[in-house]
Structure 1
Amino acid sequence: MLSNRLAALVSGLSLSFLIVTSPVSLADSENLKPHEDQGDTAREIVSKLEMLHYNKLKVGDEMSTGLWDEYIDSLDPTKSYFLASDISEFRQWRTKLDDDLKAGNVDRGFEIYNRYRLRMSDRLNNILSQLENGLPKFDFTREESLELDREKSEWPQSISAADELWRKRLKSSVLNLRLTGKSDEEIGDLLKRRYKGQLKRLGQQNSDDVFELYMNSLTRLYDPHSNYLSPRSLENFNMSMSLSLEGIGAVLQMEDEYTKVARLVAGGPADRTSKIKPNDKIVAVGQDKEGEMVDVVGWRLDDVVDLIRGSAGTFVRLETIPTGGDGTHRTITIQRSKVKLEDQAAKKAVFEFSDGEQSYKVGVINLPTFYIDFEAYRRRDPNYKSTTRDVARLLDELQKEGVDGVVLDLRNNGGGSLQEATMLTDLFIDQGPVVQIRHANEQISRHNRSRSRAMYRGPLVVLINRLSASASEIFAGAIQDYNRGLVVGNQSFGKGTVQTMAPLKEGQLKITQSKFYRVSGDSTQHAGVSPDITMPQLIDSESVGESAYDTALPWDRIHAVRHAQYFNLKDLVPELTRKHEQRTAKDPDFIFLREQFRVQIDRSNEKFVSLKEDTRIKEREDLNQTMLTMENTRREAKGLEPYKDFEALEKSESEETAPVGGPVEITLEDDPVLNEAGFIMADFIGLQKRDSSPQVANFD
C-alpha cells in the first residue's frame, strides 16, 4: 500500500525520509530500547497532531487500532516474517497504544519491532545456511505458484508454514535470476550477498530508526504527507531543500523489498534518458560504466539513495525491472548532474496544424515545474528567473511570430511555487481570485489573486497528466473554472494539501495544515482536475496519485467565489471531443498507447506468479510477441519498416547514456499526445471562428 511508503528524491532536489521496509539485525543482538527523549517527543507529536493537523483527529482507541494495523503492515507488508502467534500476542495492545503515547511510552512499539527483528534475522540466517551448500534443488517442472499480493492472506500458522512460504519465495528469486541468463553459481553468489547485506543492515538499525518508523505509522493515519523526521532524516531534508545534492533526478519509494520509481524530476538525467518510468523497480546499482553491480533488493531507501547519488559528471548504472514487462531486467547508464534551474525552465516551439479546412500556427510552451530563483529574488535582482517571467517572455515572442493559439504543456509538472502558479494564471485572465485556501482553523484565505489584465487573450489548451500535481492543478483548475481554455489529457494527481514544519524536542514534524480549493469551490485534493477532453491513459491511477494513498484526505467543496466566464466552452467540447475520438480511433500511435496500457494493467492485476520454468518462458515469449506485434502494427501503419523479431526491437531500446545539460527540445516525433493536443487546438480555433456567440466575460 502506498500509504506505507515515503518518497525520496535522488537529485538536486533529493529527499531521504526514513524507510525501514526490511530492517536488518543479528538474531542474538541485544534488543533495541527507546531512550527518554523519544517518550517526550512522542507526547509532542500526539499533541501537535491533535491541535494543528487539518484533519482534527483525536488519538483514542480507534486511532490506536489504526496505528497497530499500520505499524504491523509497515514492518511486514507481505506477511512473511511474523507468525500468527506473534500477531495474536500483539493483538492485546490494539486499543492501548494511544494511552501509551499520551504517557510518553513507546515500549510496545519497540517490543513489536524486536520480535520482527528476531523473526527476520532467523529467516535470513536460515536461508544463508541453505545457500552455503549451494542452491537448493528446486524442481522447476512442478506446477506451483507464488502469491504476489498477500494483503488479504493470513500470517503463517507455524514455523513449517513459514518455511514453505519462504521455500517458494527463494525458488521464485532463483527462477527470476535464471531467466536473466545467470548461472547457478552466479545466482548463489548474488543471493548470498543479498541476504548477508540485509542481515548486516538489520544489525545497523538503532532506536532512532525504530522510533521514526513507529511515529510515521501514526502520522500516516492523519494523511500521507504528514511525517516525523528524525534528526538524521531532517538533515537529509534540509540538504535537499538547499539544492546542493547531485544525482539522477528521480523520486523513489519503497514497496515491499524493492526500491521503486515514483516519478521523475523534470529536466533531470533520468527524465532525459526516457528509459525509466514510474513504477519501475531498481534491483541493482553500479558505479561508473563498468563498476560491479550491487544488488539492492531489501535495502533501506536512504542507503539506495546514497549509492545512486554522486558528483556531477560521474556515471551510475541501474538494473531495473520495467513496469508491465515480463520481469526481464534492463540496465541503464545515466550521467549524474545537478538539476539546474535552466534545465527546468519553460521553453517554446511553433508547429502547424490543420482542422481540415485551414492551417493554424500553434505555439507550444513546455513547463516542467513552477520555479523561482528565491535567492536572486531576495537580492532584488531585476533579472531573477521565474516561471511567470519566462512564460511572459515566451508568450510575447509567440505573439510576435503570429501564432493562432497556445498549448501549455504541464504534463509531469509536480508543482512548486504557489506564488508562481498564481502569477502565471494572471497572464491569462483579468483580475480575479485564483485559488482558495482553507486552514485547520477553518478560516478561508482568498488572497491569491490575479491582479492585472491578461497578457494573452487568445485560444488556450492546457495539457495535463496523472503526474501534474499541486501548483499545476491550481493553474489548470483556474483556467477550467474561468472557461478560459480547454484542459486536455488525464486526471491530475490530486495533491491539494499544504504542509508546514513544526519543531520537536528531537527532529521535526511535517504536518498538513491547509487545503486548496478552486474558485468553483471544488477541492483539488484527491480528485485532482478532470480534463475536458481525455487522452489515452499512460499511468495507472490505481497505483499513482493521491487516491492511491489509503489515508489521503477526501475531496470536498466549499462555497464558490465570484469569477468570470470567458468562453462558451461547454457548447464546443462535445464537437471537439467527437473530432478527437474520430481522429484517434484509427491513429496507429493512439491504438498502440491504448493496447500498451491494457497489457500493463493486465499484468499488474496478476495475483500469482508461476514457479514452473516452462510456463514462465512461454509467458515471456507470448508477451514479447504481443509487444512486437503491437509495435510492428504501429510502424507499418506509419510507413516504417517493421522489426524482424523481438531481439531487434529490444536492441533499438538498448542501454544508452542520458544526455546532460540544457532544456530538452520540444518535438512531435515521439509525442502523439502533444501532437493530438495541437489538432484539438486547430479544431478549437476553427470552431470559435464559426461560433456566432462572442467571447464573454460574465460573472458567476
Structure 2
Amino acid sequence: MKRNYKVLTTMVIAATLFCGCTLFGNSKSFENSDKDKLLIELITYVIDQLHFSPGDVNDEFSENVYMNYIQGLDPYKRYFRKSDIEEFEKFKYELDDQLKKSEITFFNLTHERLEQRIKEAQELYPKVLNKSFDFSKDETYNSDTEKLAYAKNKRELLDRWRKQLKFSALNVFDSELSTDKAKKENDSSFELRSNKELEKAARESVEKSIADNFDNLDDLERKDWFAIYLNAIVLEFDPHTFYFTLEDKDRFDISISGKLEGIGARLQKRNSNINIVEVISGGPAWKGNEVEAGDVILKVKQTGEEAVDVVGMRLDDAVKLIKGPKGTEVELTIKKKLDGSIKQVAITRDVVELEEAYAKTSLVEKGNRKYGLINLPKFYIDFKDYGERNAATDVAKEIERLKNQGMDGLVLDLRGNGGGSLKTVVDMAGLFIKKGPVVQVKSTGERKEVLKDEDSRIQWDGPLVILVNELSASASEILAAAMQDYKRAVIIGSKQTYGKGTVQNVVDLNPLVRGNSYGDVGAMKVTTQKFYRINGGSTQLEGVKSDVVVPDRYTYIDIGEKDQDNPLPWDKIDPASYRPWNDYIDLESVVGNSIERMAKSEHFKLIDEQAKWISEQRKDTSFPLNYRQYKNELNKDKEYAKRFESLSKYNNNLRFASLPYEIAAMKKDSVLKDKRKRWHENLGRDAYIEEAINVLEDLKIDYLNRKNRKLADLNKG
C-alpha cells in the first residue's frame, strides 16, 4: 500500500494532550547535540513508553521500514537508479540496529542521493519537452510503477520520463482539441489550431505543471525529508502513529478544531508567487473586501517592522508571517488579479472559522411532514477550550432548532466523517439516550474503562437514522456502534465502515528536552488505546455493519483499515452493562422494509454496476500513447459511462431548506448562500437521503404506535 507521509489522516481520535514532563517523569534525559539523532531518541522513547502494542524492532521491521521509505521518496521511480538501490540495500536489515543506536547513516545517504537525482531530473525533463511528441507512434505507458524496475542508466531513465510526460501531454492535447471543436461549434469564425500547435501547447502546459512540482520540491528542507524518514519508522507500528513537525502539528490542530487565527485566506505557491486561492467567508480578509482569489502577495509587513519580500519564499514560511494572534495587524502588498495594480492592504487578524469543517443542517420536507438532516464532517474540538465550540454542542443546538421547526425525525449524516474527539462523541451519544455506557477503552496492561453518558436528559427521543460509508471512521464508528447496540437508530450505508478501532494521543515532544537550543522539535500522535463497542466487540478492521446495506462508489475499492499497512488486530472484551432502547416496537420490520426497497431499486442497482466499473477502471494501468488508440479507448469509456448519466439526474422529490438563523445570515453572506444552494441541489439528487427519510417515516409510525400503547396501558391502569 502506498503511503503519503505529507498528508495527515483525519481518522484520529485525539483524546487529550499529554504533558511530557508529567507523563514520563524525569527518568530519561535527552541531550543529544545532533537534532536528528535527538528526534530518533525521542520518538523511540515515546513509542516504547506509550504505544498500545509496539511490537518487535528486528530485521523484519527494518526491511519494512526500508521498503516503505524508499517507495515514499520515489513512488514513480523517476529519480533513483538501479545502482542507487543496490547501494541502499546493504542497509535493508540494519535499520533496526541504527534505530537503537540513534544512527542516521542511511538517511544521510538517501537524502544526499535524492537531492542529487532531483537536480539531474530538473535538467532532464526540459530536454524531453523541447522535442515534439509523435502521437501516431504505437507505444504504451504503464502507470503501475510499483511493479516497475528501477532504471539501469540515464538513457533508460530518460525514456521513462519521456513516456510519463508524453502521457500527460496526450491528455492535455485531447482536452485542448475538444475545447477548440466546442468553440468552433459555437462560433463559426473561430480558427481551429493545427495539431502541431495543439501539441506544442500541450507540452508547454505540462512543462509549467512539472516546473511547479519541482518548485515545491525545492522548498522542502532537510527537516522535511527527515520527517518522512521518521514517519517511515513510526508508521511501522500502526497506520495512525505519526510524527508532526511544527507546521504539521499546526495543520492538525486546524483540521481538528476547524479554526485558526489569521487573515482568513487559503494560499498556494505557483511560479515562485504566493497566490490567494480562496478568501474564507466570514474571515477578516473577506470582511475587508480588498483582496480576492487570484491576487498575488508580494510583501508582508508587521506593525513597526520593515516589509518582507515573500516572492520565492517557502509557502510555510510565508504563512508564518501572515498568520498571527487575534487583534494584531498585518499589512500585505498585493498585486491585483484584474489589472495588475499594486496596493497595500492592512488586515486585523482574527479567529477564522472554517465553515465546511462544522455541522450543517437542513430541514427536509416530504408531504406534510418535516424531518431534520445534520451533516457532520468530523467530531471537531478546540483542545484549549472545550466549551468554546465542539461538535457535540453544535449538534445539540441544531437539534433544538429543528425541534422548533416541528421535526418528525432526524438523519445524522456521517458519510466521509473520519473521526475526531473522543469526548465529543461520548457527549453526542448522550443526546439520544437517557444515560449509560457509550464506548469501552482499553490500554495495554490496564483494566478497561467504560466511558458513559451520565446525563439523564435526552435532546432527541424521536426516530433516528445514521448514514455511514466506507470512509466513516473512528469516532463515527463509536457513535454508529453505540446507537446500533442500543437499538436506538437504524444504520444505513456501506457493508461496513472504515474499521479504525484505536485511540491516539498527541504528545508534545518539547517538554522532554532540557535546555532545547533547536527550536520546536515537534509532536507525536501515538496509538495508546483500543476502543470497543458496549457489546464487547471491536470495530478494529471489521468496522460497523450497516443494518441496511446500500452500494456506493467505494464498494469495490480497498480503502479500509484492513487494507492499510500494519493495522492492529481485531479482538473482543466483555460487554458493558446497558439496556437497549425500547421505544420502537418492531425495529426488525422497519429494517426489513428498507432492505426490500433497496432490493427493488433500479437506481441502486445502477450505482452498484457503476461501482464495479470504477473498480475495474482503476485496475487498468496500461495506456496507449498513440492518439488514435487513446481516443478510441476514451470514446469507449465515455460511451459506457452514458449508462450512468441518469444517476446525476436523479430527483428524490424532497424539499430542502435552511433554518431561519442561517437564512438571516445569508442576507449578509452571498458565499454562504451559494454554498447552501449547491448543497441542497446535491441533496435533491441523493438517493441515500431519500431512503433515510423513508426509514424515518416507518420509524415515526412505529414510534407513534409505541406511544399510543403506552397511553392505552396508562388508561387501563
1:615 — aligned with what? Answer: 629
* SS state at 1:484 partner: coil
In structure 2, which of residues 641, 650, 659 is the aligned counterpart of residue 627 of structure 1? 641
Kindly indicate whether the alpha-carbon contact (under 8 Å) linking 1:343 and 1:662 is maintained by their aligned counterparts in 2. no
Q: Distance in 1 between matches of 2:379 and 2:703?
A: 30
2:498 — aligned with what? Answer: 493
The normalised TM-score by structure 1 is 0.72
Do the aligned partners of residues 610 and 567 (structure 1) sit closer, same or farther apart at CA in structure 2, a change above 3 Å counting?
farther
Q: Which amino acid aligns with 1:180?
A: S
| 1:441 CA displacement | 4.2
In structure 1, which of residues 159, 168, 172 is the aligned counterpart of residue 163 of structure 2? 168
2:120 — aligned with what? Answer: 122
Deviations 1:442-471 (A, max 9, x none): 442213434314343333211222333332
C-alpha root-mean-square deviation of aligned residues, in Å? 4.5
| 1:428 CA displacement | 1.6
Q: Which amino acid aligns with 2:237?
A: Y
In structure 2, which of residues 169, 174, 185 is the aligned counterpart of residue 179 of structure 1? 174
Deviations 1:188-222 (A, max 9, x none): 33344444455555555433223212111101111
1:39 — aligned with what? Answer: 37
* SS state at 2:71 partner: helix
In structure 1, which of residues 244, 250, 262 is the aligned counterpart of residue 261 of structure 2? 244
Q: Distance in 2 between matches of 1:559 and 1:218?
A: 34
Kindly indicate whether the alpha-carbon contact (under 8 Å) linking 1:460 and 1:484 is maintained by their aligned counterparts in 2. yes
Q: Which has the larger radius of gyration?
A: 2
Matches within 5 A, 1:255-334: 288=293
In structure 2, which of residues 63, 75, 78 is the aligned counterpart of residue 77 of structure 1? 75
Matches within 5 A, 1:167-246: 167-181=162-176, 183-199=198-214, 201-234=216-249, 237=252, 243-244=260-261
* SS state at 1:494 partner: coil
> Larger deviation: 545-554 or 63-72?
545-554
Q: Which amino acid aligns with 1:166?
A: W
| 1:435 CA displacement | 0.8
* SS state at 2:671 partner: coil
Do the aligned partners of residues 86 and 558 (structure 1) sit closer, same or farther apart at CA in structure 2, a change above 3 Å counting?
same
2:12 maps to 1:3: no
* SS state at 2:672 partner: coil
In structure 2, which of residues 39, 57, 60 is the aligned counterpart of residue 59 of structure 1? 57
| 1:631 CA displacement | 1.9
Q: Distance in 2 between matches of 1:305 and 1:537?
A: 41
Q: Distance in 1 between matches of 2:124 and 2:674?
A: 51
| 1:59 CA displacement | 2.4
Q: Distance in 2 between matches of 1:502 and 1:457?
A: 41
In structure 1, which of residues 522, 529, 538 is the aligned counterpart of residue 553 of structure 2? 538
| 1:129 CA displacement | 2.9
Kindly indicate whether the alpha-carbon contact (under 8 Å) linking 2:462 and 2:700 is maintained by their aligned counterparts in 1. no
Deviations 1:147-173 (A, max 9, x none): 111223332344443333333222212
Matches within 5 A, 1:262-661: 288=293, 338-340=352-354, 344-352=358-366, 361-371=370-380, 386-396=390-400, 398=402, 403-490=407-494, 491-496=496-501, 497-504=503-510, 505=513, 506-539=521-554, 542=557, 544-567=559-582, 572-573=587-588, 576-577=591-592, 579-582=594-597, 585-588=600-603, 590-631=604-645, 659-660=671-672
Q: Distance in 1 between matches of 2:294 and 2:247?
A: 31
Q: Which amino acid aligns with 2:7?
A: A
Q: Which amino acid aligns with 1:418?
A: L
Deviations 1:55-78 (A, max 9, x none): 222322222111111111111222
In structure 2, which of residues 131, 148, 173 is the aligned counterpart of residue 135 of structure 1? 131
| 1:484 CA displacement | 1.5
| 1:576 CA displacement | 3.1
Kindly indicate whether the alpha-carbon contact (under 8 Å) linking 1:347 and 1:366 is maintained by their aligned counterparts in 2. yes
Do the aligned partners of residues 372 and 290 (structure 1) sit closer, same or farther apart at CA in structure 2, a change above 3 Å counting?
closer
2:180 — aligned with what? Answer: none
| 1:561 CA displacement | 1.0
> Larger deviation: 108-117 or 230-239?
230-239
2:272 — aligned with what? Answer: none
| 1:393 CA displacement | 4.7
In structure 2, which of residues 686, 705, 711 is the aligned counterpart of residue 671 of structure 1? 686
Kindly indicate whether the alpha-carbon contact (under 8 Å) linking 1:501 and 1:508 is maintained by their aligned counterparts in 2. yes
Q: Distance in 1 between matches of 2:403 and 2:688?
A: 24
Q: Which amino acid aligns with 1:498?
A: Q
Greater share of residues in helix:
2
Q: Which amino acid aligns with 1:100?
A: Q
Unaligned runs of 5+ in 2: 11-31, 178-197, 269-279, 282-291, 298-311, 324-329, 338-350, 514-520, 654-668, 711-717
| 1:620 CA displacement | 2.4
1:296 — aligned with what? Answer: none
Q: Distance in 2 between matches of 1:205 and 1:587?
A: 51
Kindly indicate whether the alpha-carbon contact (under 8 Å) linking 2:464 and 2:488 is maintained by their aligned counterparts in 1. yes
The normalised TM-score by structure 2 is 0.70
Kindly indicate whether the alpha-carbon contact (under 8 Å) linking 1:342 and 1:663 is maintained by their aligned counterparts in 2. no
Q: Which amino acid aligns with 2:373?
A: V
Matches within 5 A, 1:80-99: 80-99=78-97
| 1:91 CA displacement | 1.7
Q: Distance in 2 between matches of 1:425 and 1:239?
A: 24
| 1:520 CA displacement | 1.4
Q: Distance in 2 between matches of 1:391 and 1:106?
A: 48
Kindly indicate whether the alpha-carbon contact (under 8 Å) linking 1:3 and 1:224 is maintained by their aligned counterparts in 2. no
Q: Distance in 1 between matches of 2:296 and 2:313?
A: 21
Kindly indicate whether the alpha-carbon contact (under 8 Å) linking 2:408 and 2:462 is maintained by their aligned counterparts in 1. yes
Kindly indicate whether the alpha-carbon contact (under 8 Å) linking 1:422 and 1:448 is maintained by their aligned counterparts in 2. yes
* SS state at 2:87 partner: helix
In structure 2, which of residues 698, 701, 716 is the aligned counterpart of residue 683 of structure 1? 698
Q: Which amino acid aligns with 2:612?
A: R
Q: Distance in 1 between matches of 2:238 and 2:585?
A: 35
1:147 — aligned with what? Answer: 142
Unaligned runs of 5+ in 1: 11-33, 253-267, 270-286, 293-298, 318-336, 354-358, 379-383, 640-656, 696-700
Q: Distance in 1 between matches of 2:220 and 2:472?
A: 36
* SS state at 2:456 partner: coil
Deviations 1:371-404 (A, max 9, x none): 45677765xxxxx655444444554555566554
Do the aligned partners of residues 618 and 568 (structure 1) sit closer, same or farther apart at CA in structure 2, a change above 3 Å counting?
farther
* SS state at 2:231 partner: helix
How many residues were matched structurally?
A: 584
